[in-house]
Amino acid sequence: MPMYAFKGIASSGKTISGVRDADSPKGLRQNLRKDGVLVTSFELSRGGKQAKAENAKKGGLSRDVDLGGFLGGVKKTEIATLTRQMATLIRSGIPLAETLGALVEQITNMRLKTPMSEVRTAVNEGSSLADAMAKHPRIFDELYVSMVRAGELAGNLDEVLERLSDFLEGAQKLKSKVQSAMIYPMVMVIVGGGIMAVLMIKVVPEITTMFTQQGKTLPLNTRMLIASSNFMGNHWKAIAIAMTAIGILFSKWKSSPDGKKTWHTFVLQLPVLGQLVRTINVSRFARTLGTMLESGVPMLRALDTGKQIMGNVVLQAAVEEAKRAVTEGESLAQTLKKSGQFPPTMIHMVAVGERAGQLEQMLERVATTYETEVDTKLSRFTALLEPVMLVVMGGAVAFIVFSILQPIMDLGQLSGPK
């Protein structure tokens, strides 16, 4: 049965929206009219070409509804909350179809409500939950679908969903920590760059005009300042265009296979930032691999998903090589060690887990250890970055001030008593 996303006016005069199954647009309007809702517009969410043809023939109030125009996207926190609620309801003994129906009723974000309604309909028609979710990759990625599929096969879907919600919440917390740590440096760069631009384009030319009118030889640093200020003032449009072009070209180069590999290798070799990037990627990989293995996902599929979680192609290549070696029967710890890209502590713990038959638990410990280390390294990185930025900005301002004051002091000495 087709699914329709609709907007309407309730008997109270309040504008409402939602999703409803109906055999045709006419049936949709009739069903909603019984509930006291006057349909103002609707969009076909499910039903294929046949339903679309019926909609075109029967006409009525149909209009294309651009859901993206007034609704936001789906946040990871929303998916994590949905997953935890689903796990709770299933653990309570409520059938899956009823669980999905209850969840759909309480979702307010249409970007999530519509696909979940389609998942519910597919499950009611006999599809597995994993297959139904796989039709919405923007909401449920490969990791999510693989774990749900494993939970369905093993008969412990509630446990897998609980573990999955913990994983999503942990990943979001880690992402928030990294983003929060980057806000201050970005603000400093933007504000500092703006202040320097105003000084060089507006303030410095007005102050240094009297120096050039005197016709006397100025100190080298003052002449450099005046030349830089004149250049920026006369060519600021060209500078802005050039910087934009450089940014675009750099972004395209960094997106190319060779450029991405070169850039990611360079980042990993940086003294403090490189260690931070490596630690973040290792913690993500360990958490993903451990969670999927614990949920019953096969090793090779778990390695594939764990590789995609990492954002560095150098580390991804190391995992891909490890996957090939594991396929041939080699130890995961030994293949990761050969790459030289993973920390010795992680390799040692993975080796111990393999020998003891507790690889999943060891990977969870590795992830916890490195997530704690991420906090430490983020604090260290920001603590190092702040004084460096202050020194650079302070040095630039000090150079400007000194270059302006030096000729003034020289003029004062020349005009003073002999």
> Could you tell me where the DSSP H helices lie in 92-216?
96-106, 110-124, 129-134, 142-154, 157-198, 204-214
User: What pLDDT shows up at residue 290?
Assistant: 87
Task: Output the pLDDT for position 214.
Answer: 66
Sign of the torsion formed by the C-alpha atoms of 146, 148, 154 and 159: positive
Out of 3.40.50.620, 3.40.50.2300, 1.20.81.30, 3.90.226.10, select the CATH number for domain 76-169: 1.20.81.30
* pLDDT attached to residue 70: 34
Backbone angles phi, psi at 9, to 5 degrees: -120, 125
Fold: same for 76-169 and 187-418: yes
The structural domains of the chain, with segments of one domain joined by +, span 3-65, 76-169, 187-418
The whole-number pLDDT of residue 169 equals: 86
Q: How far apart are CA 276 and CA 175, in angstroms?
A: 13
> Are the C-beta atoms of residues 341 and 314 closer than 8 Å to each other?
yes
Would you state the pLDDT for residue 246? 94
Q: Which residues of the chain have pLDDT under 50?
A: 46-72, 414-418
pLDDT confidence of residue 242: 93
- Record the pTM: 0.63
User: How far, in Å, CA of 160 to CA of 136, rounded?
Assistant: 19
CA 228 to chain centre: 39
Fold entry, domain 187-418: Receptor-associated Protein (1.20.81)
- Give dist(CA 310, CA 278) in Å, integer: 10
Q: How far does Cα 267 stand from its chain's mean position?
A: 19
Q: How far is CA 60 from CA 54, 56, 66, 212, in A?
A: 11, 9, 18, 77
Instruction: Specify the pLDDT at position 39.
Output: 67
